[in-house]
Structure 1
Amino acid sequence: MESWEIENGSNIPPIKVYPDKFEGQVVVITGAGQGIGEVTSKLFASQGATVVLVDIQEDKLKCVQAEIEATGGNAVYRLCNVAAEDQATLMIDWVVATFAKIDVLVQLAALYPFIPLAEHPTADFLNVMNVNVNACFYLTRAVLPHMKKAGYGRLINTSSGTLQLPDRGLSAYVTSKAAIVGFTRCVAVEAGPGVTANIILPGLTRTEAVWKLHERPDGSHGLFETLIQKQCVKRSGRPQDIAHTICFMASPEAQFITGQIFDCGGGATFH
C-alpha cells in the first residue's frame, strides 16, 4: 500500500478474499469502466462471480474485462446509457436471457458536476437527475420481478457523503443522492422474501478522476486534507474500501439488513 492508504498507528490484518464466495452468481455493475465500479467489478470476479460490466465507455470496459479474464475471472460487458429507459430495460432483459438470472445489481454510474446554484442551467440539473435517479428507477423496476421470482436478490444503490457534508456547486448532485436514499427504502418495503435493497454511501474516495478533479494549481488537494481532519479514520478513502463494503452488502450473510445506509467514509459523518 502507499502511505496515504495506511492510517498511522494502525495494524490491520490482511484482508482475506475467498475465490468461491460468489461462485454461480451473476452480478451486474453500472459505472464499471473506471474508479469504484472498476475495482468493485474486479473484486466480485476474484470471488467467483460472473460480472456484467455496464458503462458507456467501451474502451474502458474492454480493458476491465481483459484484466478480469487475465486473472481467471468471468466478465462480459454491455454498452448501455442507463439514463435511457429503453436501453436500461433491454440490458436487464439481455442479462436474464443470457444467464437466466441476476443475483446482484450494483448501481454506481453517476454524474458529479460542480455548478453554482444561481448559474445552474435547468437542462444540466435535469440531466444529473436523469442519470443519478431515473436510471436507478429504470434498472430496479426491470430487475425486481426476476429477483422476486427467484426468491433472492441484492439491490445496492449509491448515495454520497455529501448528503451530510454538502459543498458549493453540488445542488443537483446532493439532491439526486438524497432521492436515492428515499427510493431505496421504498424498494426495501416492496422487495419481497430474500431480496434486500440497501445504500452504499461513500465518503470522499481517492479515485483517479476525483483526485484530479480536486487538484489545485499548486498540486495540493485541500479537500482531501480537510476531510481527513473530520474523519475518525485518518487516511484517504480507497475504492477498495467501498468495494469490500459492497461485497458484504451483496452477501447471503446480509440477509437481515435492508433499507439501510452503509456509510463508508471513515467516520466523517454519522447516521
Structure 2
Amino acid sequence: MNSRHSNTASSALHLNVDVQGQGFPILCLHGHPGSGSSLSVFTNHLSKRFQTLAPDLRGYGKSRCDGNFDMRDHLIDLEALLDRFRIKKCLILGWSLGGILAMELALQLPQRVTGLILVATAARPRGNHPPITWQDNVYTGVAALLSYIKPDWQWNIETFGKRSLFRYLIQQHTPTAYRYIAKDAVSAYLQTTAPATRALYSAIGAGYNRLTDLEQIQCPCLVLAGACDRHITADASLETFRYLKDSQSHCYPNTAHLFPWEIPNQVLSDIDRWLEKNQKVVSV
C-alpha cells in the first residue's frame, strides 16, 4: 500500500458509518471479518466523552460494492469519510486489519492523525494458526448459531465453543466473550464479501511489511496484544511497538485475537489511562 491512489469523489465509496457521542473525533476501524458494530466494546465506552465514528469498510457490513478492489481503496474511502464529516484531526483506533489501515492513514495523513490505538495488529503481520478441518467449521457454525440464540448457554460453550475455531480466537470462554461474538461477530461474518477477503489476502500474500516506514509516525501510539493470539501473534504486535517512536504497549496473558471481548474492562481501563497521560491526542 505504498503508492497512493488519486483521491477523487468518484473513486471513494460512501461508507455506512455509526456515529455516537460528541467531542473530539475517534475513528474506529474494524478487522476482517467485521463491521462498524464489531467495535461496540470501544464505541459504547468512548462515546461517553468523545465522538466515535465506526464505518463499515468497503465490502463489509452495509458498505456494499461491486467488483474487486485492493487495500488502497480503503484509504481513499476513509479519507473521503473524514472530509465528509469535516474532520481536520482525529485519533484512530484500529483492530486487526483496522490497525493496519490506521497506520497507513497515519503515514498518508500525518497532519490529521493525532494518535493511534493499535489492537491485535502489526505492521508486519504474522500468524501461527493451525490448519482448519471440516470438524472445526461444523463446530464453529453450531457454536455461533447457538450463541446467537442463547449466548450464556454454558453447555454450548463447553460442547461446541471450546472445540470450534473460537478456541483460537479467545482463551477465556466466558459468557461475556460469547455475548460479544453473538451480538457483533456472527452478522459481520455473514456480511463480509468475497472481494473484501480477496483484497486482504492479496496484500498479505504480497508480503505486506511497513516496519521500516513506522519511524515516520510521530504521534503517540498504544499497542495492545493478546499473548495467545494465533491470527496476528503478540510477537508481531510487539515488533511493531518497538519500531514506533512514541509508543506504549500491553500484552495480556491468557487472551487471543478477540481479547477486547475477553477482558473488556481491563482493556478499556488501559486505554483510559493512556488517554489521560496523552491528552494531546484528543485535543485540537
Q: Please report the TM-score for the alignment, with normalisation by the length of structure 2.
A: 0.37
Relative contact order, higher structure (CA 8 A, sep 6+): 2
